[in-house]
Amino acid sequence: MLDAELAAAGRRRGTEMPRVLDVGGGSGVWAVPLAVAGCLVTVVEPSPNALATLHRRAADAGVPHLVTAVQGDTDALLDLVREGEADLVLGHGLLEVVDDAENALAALAAAAAPGGAVSVLVANRFAAVLHRAVAGKLVDARRLLDDDAGQLAGTRDPLRRRFDVAGLESLVVTAGLEVELLQGHGVVSDLVPGSVLESSVGAADALAELELAAATRSPLRDVAARLHVLARRPG
């Protein structure tokens, strides 16, 4: 899906490389493979330690010239990068931890070029409820279910919020983006024990096919571990 988006961006740019902005990109889990694939990638990340790891990863992969690291916070994004320049903007694991998710998503949208895409990956509130219930943490499961933000307030919950399908879609539309795809990520793959994959020939391929088929089908999509939106800036 992102490969297709970047291929289209490459065709639009002709001889120029597609430009990707990875906001909160950490140590380059997404950025370095994208650079290896032939993209110019800018990573905005507040942690100097994560950026140091990013530099090492890019160097080890032979693409340090294709990765630009910028230390800074999402709330100052448009002071750090040019508005309307990126063919693809990534906000993966970002909206759960920022102070203001609405403002953060608006900044991601503004950083995308007209016609460019924004990819958002977030933790799913209902998946968190189910996982805690299955683990026997029934009080925490109920608290997550009742909390509008899907947060375990008063605990060491690392996330400020979790999302459901309706809330995420509304947030994306409010940012002025057009939703093209809203799917689950980790619908069934996180539930299958590794021993099953190791003991059965073809199980990995079968799981991949099942995951792909379930990703867009409600209600399976709605309880995936993460929710993924690919949206477009009009223009």
Q: To the nearest whole percent, how much of the chain has pLDDT over 70? A: 100
Phi, psi of 70 (to 5 degrees): -125, 120
Q: What pLDDT was estimated at residue 194?
A: 82
pLDDT of residue 9: 84
Contact criterion met (CB below 8 Å) for 129 and 144: yes
Spatial separation of the C-alpha atoms in residues 142 and 134, rounded to whole Å: 12
What is the pLDDT, as a whole number, of residue 87?
96
- Going by C-alpha positions, the residue among 83, 117, 124 that lies closest to residue 222 is 124
Can you give the pLDDT at residue 53?
Answer: 97
Does residue 1 surpass a pLDDT of 80? no
- Nearest-CA neighbor of 86 among 145, 27, 138, 13? 13
pTM: predicted TM-score of the whole model, two decimal places: 0.92
pLDDT: is 200 or 217 the higher one? 217
Q: Give me the count of residues in the chain.
A: 235
Q: Give the single-character DSSP code of 222.
A: G
Average pLDDT, the chain: 94
Q: Is the CB of residue 128 less than 8 Å from the CB of residue 162?
A: yes
Quick one: what percent of the chain has pLDDT higher than 90?
83
Q: What radius of gyration do the chain's Cα atoms show?
A: 18
- Give the pLDDT mean for 92-120: 96
Take residue 193 and report the two structure tokens written for it.
């024990």
pLDDT bin (cut points 50, 70, 90) of residue 132 is very high
CA angle 205, 211, 212 (to 5 degrees): 90
Q: Which residue has the tokens 């096919």?
A: 209
Q: Which pLDDT score, from 0 to 100, does residue 201 have?
A: 84
Q: Contact at 8 Å (CB) between 136 and 198?
A: no
Give the chain's domains with CATH numbers: 2-124+163-188+222-232 (3.40.50.150)
Which residue type occupies 226? R
pLDDT for position 38? 93
Comparing 156 with 56, the larger pLDDT belongs to 56
Asked whether the beta carbons of 228 and 121 are under 8 A apart, the reply is yes
